[in-house]
Homo-oligomer: A and B are copies of this chain.
Amino acid sequence: MTRTVEVTELALRDGHQSLLATRMALEDMVAACEDIDQAGYWSVECWGGATYDSCIRFLNEDPWERLRTFRKLLPNSRLQMLLRAQNLLGYRHYEDTVVDRFVDKSAENGMDVFRVFDALNDVRNLRRALTAVKRTGKHAEGTICYTTSPLHTVGAFVDMALQLRDLGCDSICIKDMAALLKPQPAYDLVRGIKEKCGEDTIVHVHVHSTTGVTLVSLMKAIEAGADIVDTAISSLSLGPGHNPTEALVEMLEGTGYETRLDKERLVKIKEHFAAVRPRYAEFESKFIGVESQIFESQIPGGMISNMESQLKQQGAGDRVKDVMEEVPRVRKDAGYPPLVTPSSQIVGTQAVFNVLMGRYKSLTGEFADLMLGYYGETIGSRDPEVVKAAYEHAKKEPITGRPADLLKPEWDELRKQALALDGCNGSDEDVLTFAMFPQVAPKFFGQRSQGPKNLSKSPTPATSAAAPSSDGKAPVSSRVEYKVKIGDKSHNVIVEPA
């Protein structure tokens, strides 16, 4: 009589991405892999845009080598990745055959489940990547980015689910990156998908815990028939991260639902990451509580800290509140895109510009592209005045077609440029690294042979609460008074922050 609920473990990707600025070195995950592999998860999320970026930018790790290592260490597990559809793991649209190659190479190196999303929920942007995954025989998961707006009704999301089903997706993911999915909408949405797409449609629910309500949403999603839910082991959970895996297991006791997870393995995984996490204290998200005001602002936690640092750089750190109020307006003008990479950055940066320089007095190139349709279609219509401003800024006509249709074949050129770089090994994998991260790849190729750099082992004590200053010495963080004796004389010494 009991129904099994399957679980995806997020610790190896979104867990440390959300809590430790994606800085965890592969070395610090290896010892947990056997327990993860044996615990009974449906899949193990372990790869995505931010981890790839962090590998080459900060950790001097080859992300493909990381993937192959996971493949070896998790022989019984489905490996899962998050793929930005036509953007791959980068920030622009790639031509279709580049998308195909990336998917082929990822599958070849061991990826099993491809969670494919588009920041605008434009299904045309999802098609090529999903088709490529299907061709490899791997699991193609079509993704609905969950957000709230007057237009984002359950009916609208269910329509998108139907389109994803018609593309042949093996499962449908509801991805709630900002923890906006409340219990009743979670229930209604899962039920709606099951009723319209068929009860045998696999529904996979991904929620963050930022607002504090989403474990309840998982309960309701499960009651509505959700098949798989995403959680992170407790020692890498909560705050802007995810609900704790162990809490999910315990929550279901006696409800008629159960996971297949082995509690003893979970304890070991928990203890592993509890031991590792403090080493990354300097990267730790400062926000560890619950933030319900996100329901009003619709701004994901990570986006707020980005905007704060942008504002501080401009000497306008006191205008965070103005920007938080501007974001929903910019989002409305842009036709209510969900706020997720890259739309979150594009909308957030434009909101900062609007506050500092006046509304749409200055536009970023990316925002102009968004307004002109170069990222795809949004659910709502875009404000004509702002579209006009974008046209004047970018000197480009608005488009209504699939953005990637405008792109010419680019693989050969990308390959030529990559191969010209010192340290490039000539593989398709290296070409893809260059294609997605053209600024970072040259330096990475050049120093790759030095091997991985584990930031938790840097000379700065990772447990220090103070951020290291640029010279590596701890700054004075508050006024301290000392009595100092030099020779026979005693002095009162006051040290204050510079």
B495 touches A491 (CB 8 A): no
Docked complex: A178-211 residues within 8 A CB-CB of B: 182-185, 188, 211
Least distance between A230 CB and chain B CB atoms (Å):
15
- CB of A484 within 8 A of chain B? yes
CB within 8 Å of B: which of A264-311?
A: 266-267, 288-293, 295
Query: Does the CB pair A182–B247 fall under 8 Å?
Result: no
CA distance A250 to B246 in the complex (A): 24
A463 adjacent to chain B (CB < 8 Å) = yes
B247, B289, B465, B474: the one within 8 Å of A290 (CB): B247
Q: Flag if B184 contacts A244 (CB, 8 Å).
A: no
Known: A184-B254, A246-B292. A495 touches B478 (CB 8 A): no
Which residue of chain B lies nearest to A188 when distances are taken between CB atoms in the complex? B254
Contacts of A107 in B (CB 8 A): none
- Looking at the complex, which one of B474, B478, B482 makes contact with A463 (CB distance below 8 Å)? B478
B250 lies within 8 A of A213 (CB): yes
Given known A234-B290, A463-B478, A484-B493, contact A211–B267 (CB-CB < 8 A): no
Instruction: Tell whether, in the assembled complex, residue A183 and residue B255 are in contact, meaning their CB atoms are under 8 Å apart.
Output: yes
Interface contact A212-B463, CB-CB below 8 Å: no
From 465 to 498 in chain A, residues with beta carbon under 8 angstroms from any chain B beta carbon are: 465, 474, 478, 480, 482, 484, 486, 491, 493, 495
CB contact between A495 and one of B216, B219, B482 (< 8 Å): that residue: B482
**A121 contacts partner chain B, Cβ-Cβ < 8 Å:** no
Given A247-B212, A254-B185: A289 touches B461 (CB 8 Å cut-off): no
Interface centre among A213, A244, A247, A249 (most CB of B within 10 A): A213
Kindly list chain B residues whose C-beta atoms are within 8 Å of the C-beta of A254: 182, 184-185, 188
* Cβ of A237 under 8 Å from chain B: yes
Contact B290 A251 (CB under 8 A): no
The answer to whether B182 and A244 have CB atoms under 8 Å apart is no
With the chains together, A323 CA to B3 CA distance in Å? 37
In the complex, the chain B residue whose C-beta lies closest to that of A487 is B491
The CA-CA distance from A388 to B474 in the complex, in Å, is 61
The reply to whether the CB of A324 lies closer than 8 angstroms to some CB of chain B is no
A405 interface hit (Cβ, 8 Å): no
Question: Which residue of the partner chain, among B215, B266, B461, contacts A212 with CB atoms under 8 Å?
Answer: B215
Q: Provide the bound-state CA to CA distance between A292 and B255, in Å.
A: 18
Question: B182, A235: Cβ atoms under 8 Å?
Answer: no
Judging by beta carbons under 8 Å apart, are A244 and B212 in contact? yes
Q: Whole-angstrom distance between the alpha carbons of A267 and B324 in the complex?
A: 15
Q: A235 to B486, Cβ gap below 8 A?
A: no
Q: What residues of B have a CB within 8 angstroms of the CB of A85 in the complex?
A: none
Name A's B-contacting residues (CB within 8 A): 182-185, 188, 211-213, 215-216, 219, 234-235, 237-238, 243-244, 246-247, 249-251, 253-255, 266-267, 288-293, 295, 461, 463-465, 474, 478, 480, 482, 484, 486, 491, 493, 495
Known: A219-B219, A267-B293. 13 other contacts (CB 8 A): A182-B250, A183-B219, A183-B251, A184-B255, A213-B215, A215-B216, A216-B216, A238-B238, A461-B478, A482-B493, A482-B495, A486-B486, A493-B493
Q: Provide a sorted-by-A list of 20 A–B residue pairs whose CB atoms are within 8 angstroms.
A: A182-B251, A183-B219, A183-B251, A183-B255, A212-B244, A212-B250, A213-B250, A213-B251, A216-B216, A234-B289, A234-B291, A237-B290, A238-B238, A238-B289, A244-B290, A267-B293, A464-B478, A484-B484, A484-B491, A486-B491
